[in-house]
Amino acid sequence: MEFDGWTALIGTGTVVAVFVVVMLMVILAVWAERRVAAVMQTRIGPNRAGPFGLLQTIADGIKLLMKESITPRQVDRLVYELAPLLAVLPAFLALAIVPFGPGFCIGGQGTDCSGGYFVDMQIANLNVGVLWFLSMSAIGVYAALLAGWGSGSKYPLLGGVRASAQVISYEAALSLSVVPVVVAAGTLDTQGIVLAQSQYRWFLLPLFIPALFFFVAALAETNRPPFDLVEAESELVGGFHTEYSGVRFMLFFLAEYVNVVTISALFVTFFLGGWTGPYPVAGSVNWAPLFGAIWFLAKTVCIIGIFFWLRVTLPRLRYDQLMALCWKRLIPINLVYLMAVAVWVAYQATGDLPRLVGGG
Amino acid sequence: MSDYYENYLTIFLFVLVGLGLFGAMIGVARLLQPRRQTAAKLATYECGVEAEGDWWTQQHVRYYVFALLFVVFDIEAAFIFPWATVMGSIADAWAVLVEMFVFIGILVVALAYVMRKGLLRWM
Amino acid sequence: MSGEWILYIVFGATALVSAIGVVFLANPIHSALSLIGALASVAGLFLAQEAFFLSVVQIIVYTGAVVVLFLFVIMLLGIDSADPREEQLLRRQWFPWAFLGGVIGVGGLVLTITGIDLPFGVSGTDTADAVNEAGGNVQALSERLFTDWLLPFELTSILVVAAIVGGVVLAKRTKDLRGSGMGLTPDLAERISEEVEADAAEGELDPEDAFEADDVDPDPDSDAVLVGETSENGEG
């Protein structure tokens, strides 16, 4: 493939498309969360701005943009200003490896798309896709820690240290629950992981425990209830972003919701077969990529829905329970399960039995 | 330009768009927001009363233990992911399997040691 | 100019600037931030060499985990640790070692620039083509790691366990000495009470001041001052 104007255009188009899709999803997610919570608590919820209150998020966003963004006197200016950036940027960057659909060919011939342009429905098709996601969420830890420290205030400091301890702990659990997926798929490439699950060999069934743990760790990693100790109002006021207001406060929330979308999309990629669906089988119809994207987004929305459902249903954990759950349950059990999966895969790689899980 | 650099070029573009979005939001807010600062507004928040004492408090040592464990498991992840990738396709799968199990085993002993010493217990 | 060159120049420059920042910034948190920049730039340098696996691992392990550990250690330090006199003392104690390290570093730099081969160390035989043939970075790396470099790999885990044991011993000792497990080491408490006594002797801490600083306890003894130190009490 030659690098020319078309490649640049396709690259730019993908980036813009992903931004638009994700921002729309975030805007809808904030609205949907409030409506779902309202329904479950027999309230009405936001219903004034636009039909069904759909424009509520936009109204709130404009409000926050127009609010005074106060910078308290005691803050460490550099660290204070940097923290929202370190929250938002890794959140978006992690999206780079989410495969929204199968790749397709424009104007080319054959399976290798000779003479045309192959478009990936993801920003970058990296060989180390899974690790890219993990590295971005690793950088995301700094947002809480630096916001807490940079604020020059007691509650944010406590909240920041707590938040980062929580996030790093669950980061370890999260990466360990992805390992069985990589073992089963035999690749770190997200597109490859989706392909390994084609024909309904979703990893959810054989890898149910890692999937469950991934979800639990995802809740904690994104500071969602029941793991939202970071902003436990009764103890820590607002947690690490107590001293933030106006647009900077909004950016922290934007990052949180982008993280929710990313991690739900990755749950779908790792365990629910990604963009594969009942119709059409990839390549059989011209519109296959579009259908792929629709399946993918539909599955992602379902997972985001579970995030909201759990928020309304479950009470917040205590901090000691949170840490014990991670280090005494999730990580050891994950390691044991990983070993079992590895034995199974090694048995299949060397023995005569047909492969049930994934392809090499 | 190879495929390799092209992928990262797209990511670079993605970074730029992300930075642009951040900058645009801060910039628009700067234009739109009122700026009426008072001493009370700029004060550090402490539930409505005036802030007392130094904000900088010494954090508990237990956080350090968790950070250390995190480093350890991150190092483990760095080794375990390449292993996981080639597990199913490498020539001598069983040997590689045993090698990694020894590695994991040693780390599990370390985790058990920390647990045994009661440092995972929050007090 | 090729992509490699551009990446090399950009990330090399940022690595250098942030490394200088680590040394010269006065605030430990700013130093740590600078260190993040330096380590991330090194990841960029790996990227320029098409070692993307190494690059991502560099971000995960160093930028993501090791600096977080550093920051937690900074958070562990009490207010008193910023005492300039102590810093002076530390500087004087460590100066010979720092000097030695600097000499070694400059020596290494000279050797690298002049291109003299050292009698030890192994240079790799893997070319870019060989890596591609093995099916990419990760595959080539794992094949080497789990065959030729098995012993160092297993020893890594033992090294890591040693680090954990060290950390546990440190944490455990501090915890035991703290009595209730909150806030203070005995020597720190002793030092603070000494300072309080000294201040009281100089008349800097009269009862009225103490009343202002702490409405609950008008008594100017050490407890009133300790409140700031042990404020984490309320958290457990």
Q: What is the value of pTM for the model shown?
A: 0.85
For residue range A116-136, list pLDDT tens digits in order: 777 778 888 888 889 999 999
End-to-end alpha-carbon separation of chain B, Å? 57
Domain edges within chain C: 1-78, 179-236
Chain A residues touching residue C235 (CB < 8 angstroms): 158, 235
What pLDDT band is residue A287 in, cutting at 50, 70 and 90? low
A291 has pLDDT over 60: yes
- Looking at residue A359, its pLDDT comes to 43
Low-confidence ranges of chain C (pLDDT < 70): 1, 78-87, 116-128, 174-193, 195-197, 199-236
Chain C residues touching residue B59 (CB < 8 angstroms): 72, 75-76, 232
Picking from A186-190, A350-354, B89-93, which range would have the lowest pLDDT averaged per residue? A350-354
What pLDDT band is residue B122 in, cutting at 50, 70 and 90? low
Picking from A159-163, A212-216, A346-350, B117-121, which range would have the lowest pLDDT averaged per residue? B117-121
Q: Which domains does chain B have, with CATH numbers?
A: 3-116 (1.20.58.1610)
Residues present in chain B in total: 123
A224 has pLDDT over 90: no
| Residue indicated by tokens 């980062």 | A164
What pLDDT band is residue A176 in, cutting at 50, 70 and 90? very high
Distance between CA atoms of residues C213 and C234, nearest Å: 18
Q: Would you call C168 and B113 a contact, using CB atoms and an 8 Å cutoff?
A: yes
Distance between CA atoms of residues C158 and C165, nearest Å: 10
C221 touches chain B (CB under 8 A): no
Q: Would you call B1 and A323 a contact, using CB atoms and an 8 Å cutoff?
A: no
Distance between CA atoms of residues A186 and A359, nearest Å: 7
- Looking at residue B19, its pLDDT comes to 93
CATH class held by domain C1-78: mainly alpha
Picking from A204-213, A346-355, B8-17, which range would have the lowest pLDDT averaged per residue? A346-355
C182 touches chain B (CB under 8 A): yes
Question: Which residues 6+ apart lie within 8 Å of A347 measured at CB?
Answer: A353
Chain C: closest CA distance from residue B24 (Å): 24
For residue range B52-99, list pLDDT tens digits in order: 777 777 777 788 888 888 998 998 888 999 999 888 787 777 888 888
What pLDDT band is residue B123 in, cutting at 50, 70 and 90? low
Smallest Cβ–Cβ distance between B33 and the set A67, A158, A328 belongs to A67
- Looking at residue A130, its pLDDT comes to 92
Chain B: closest CA distance from residue C48 (Å): 9
What mean pLDDT is predicted for residues A192-209?
A: 88
- Looking at residue A168, its pLDDT comes to 92
Domain edges within chain A: 70-350
Mean pLDDT computed over every residue of chain A: 85
What mean pLDDT is predicted for residues A88-96?
A: 92
- Looking at residue C147, its pLDDT comes to 82
